[in-house]
Amino acid sequence: MPFGGLFDIDRKREDIQELEAKIAEPGFWDDSDEAQKVLRERTAMEKAVDCWDRLVRLLDDAKVLIELGSEAEDEETLTEVKKLNDELEAGVSQAEFQRMLSGPHDRNSCFVSITSGAGGTESQDWVEMLLRMYLRYCEKRGWRTDITECQAGDEAGIKGVTFTVAGEYSYGYLKAEAGIHRLVRISPFDGNARRHTSFASVFVFPEIDDDIEVRISEPDLRIDTYRSGGAGGQHVNVTDSAVRITHIPTGIVAACQNERSQHMNKATAMRMLRAKLYERELEERAAKTAEIGGEKKEIGWGSQIRSYVLHPYRMVKDLRTGVETGNTDAVLDGDLEEFIVAFLMGVRRNEQEAAQ
């Protein structure tokens, strides 16, 4: 299959023309939200086409240099060809990876929830470490984060925390992190300096577009207000307007406590509830449950997706892909790209093999 067909560039060029015509129509800005959605769609397509055009130029340049270098037996020219070839290979790999992010919600912003599991205070401290790791990763990618709910641990750390991630493809990337994360280290809370194993779960679910209908009946909701609390500082703003919404038929709960007004907290909690109910509906229809929010397992032994070992040796290993590194400090500081890319590319390869 030629690369043009692989990346469907011709179709994207046609779609861009259709969007341009739509943008030029009178009254396009009458619906600001819809207009912004169209502009974002056009920008995404233009990026894909620009990437393709750049790869084609690199390929053409490499072909010309190969011919010149072969005729003149010019080592300097052939060295330049190798440089172009390496750049072309990297570009094709990146373009192929972007194709992995083609799910119905991959471009969306998302919600991330981290919950402590087996291990008590140790696991609650592990949740706080994971929170920092993901906030640093999002910062490096230029995504905006906002902690919506945080429940402080009994002695230290955090029992559970939920935060939003606003940024293009944030769900597409972070869905790779959904699962159980295991930490092995010498406990800072153990006076005998014994080694402890801690677990925490990470759930990731996409923010749902407004044009997707999720039916929520007002009588099915229980809305509680309470005084927010928690770890304080960077984790939560203490207010008297925190909101917790419970969907009575399913027992699904969404809460927000970081905004300054009860109205804003309720609006955010409703967005989260819509996303969770939509996820549940897809699961009930036997949709791709592993893609929407991750596979939910018991938070303990035998179900982890990744291990972070700080003693007796130092290693982070993803048990799904086999990717590992000894630079644990970098990973805990948000260097997750290698793990995420390997998982997403691996999922795609498995899908292709199954199709064959």
The CATH code of the domain that includes 324 is 3.30.70.1660
Where is the domain boundary, 100, 126, 150?
100
Q: What is the residue range of 296's domain?
A: 110-350
Domain boundary (42, 75, 100) is at 100
Determine the pLDDT at residue 350: 46
Shared domain for 308 and 193, answered yes or no, is yes
Q: At 176, which helix (H) or strand (E)?
A: none
Chain-centre distance of CA 48, in angstroms? Answer: 20
- At 296 the pLDDT is 52
59 compared with 335, residue with greater pLDDT: 335
Q: Give pLDDT, residue 135.
A: 98
Is 331 part of a structural domain of the chain?
A: yes
**CB burial string 129-164: b at 16+ within 10 A, e below:** bbbebbbbbbeebebebebbbbbbbeeebbbbbbbb
Q: Residue 218 half-sphere exposure, CB side, CA atoms within 13 Å?
A: 0
Q: State whether 53 and 130 are in the same domain.
A: no
> Which stretch, 139-153, 203-217, 292-306, has highest mean pLDDT?
139-153
Q: Tell whether the model's pLDDT for residue 354 goes beyond 50.
A: no
Q: Does residue 291 lie in a domain region? A: yes
Pick the residue with more confidence: 134 or 271? 134
Residue 291 to residue 170: CA distance in whole angstroms: 13
- Place 5 in a pLDDT band, splitting at 50, 70 and 90: very low
pTM of the model: 0.72
Are 242 and 163 in a shared domain?
yes
Residue 275 maps to a domain: yes
195 shares a domain with 313: yes
Number of independent structural domains in the chain: 2
Residue 103 confidence (pLDDT): 81
Considering the domain architecture, whether residues 36 and 128 belong to the same structural domain is answered as no
Given a contact cutoff of 8 angstroms between Cβ atoms, the answer to whether 127 and 116 are in contact is yes
Least-confidence region, from 197-201, 253-257, 258-262: 258-262
CA atoms of 202 and 127, how far apart (whole Å): 9
- Same structural domain, 218 and 269: yes
Q: Tell me, what's the pLDDT at 142?
A: 95
CA distance 6 to 213: 33
Q: What pLDDT sits at residue 1?
A: 36
Both 135 and 260 in a single domain? Answer: yes
Assess if residue 155 is contained within a domain: yes
For the ranges 254-258, 317-321, 343-347, the lowest mean pLDDT is seen at 343-347
The rounded distance, in Å, linking the Cα atoms of 356 and 352 is 6
pLDDT tens-digit map of 126-149: 999 999 999 999 999 999 999 999
> With 90 as the cut, is the pLDDT of residue 176 above it?
yes
Q: Answer yes or no: do 154 and 290 share one domain.
A: yes
Q: Is residue 198 part of a domain?
A: yes
Q: Do 92 and 122 belong to one domain?
A: no
**pLDDT for residue 7:** 57
Last residue of a domain, one of 81, 100, 119: 100
Quickly state the pLDDT bin for 189 (edges 50, 70, 90).
confident
pLDDT surpasses 80 at 237:
no
Name every residue whose Cβ is closer than 8 Å to that of residue 160 and which is 6 or more positions away in sequence.
113, 114, 115, 116, 127, 149, 150, 151
- The answer to whether residues 241 and 305 belong to one domain is yes
What CATH number has the domain bearing residue 23? Answer: 1.20.58.410
Say which residue, 139 or 187, is predicted with more confidence. Answer: 139
| Percentage above 90 pLDDT, the chain | 39
Q: Is the pLDDT of residue 233 over 60?
A: no
Average pLDDT over residues 287-293: 49
What pLDDT is attached to residue 319? 93
Tell me, yes or no, whether 276 lies in a domain: yes
* Same domain flag for 182 and 227: yes
Task: Retrieve residue 198's tokens.
Answer: 């801690």
Residue 86 pLDDT greater than 50, yes or no: yes
CB 257 within 8 A of CB 239: yes
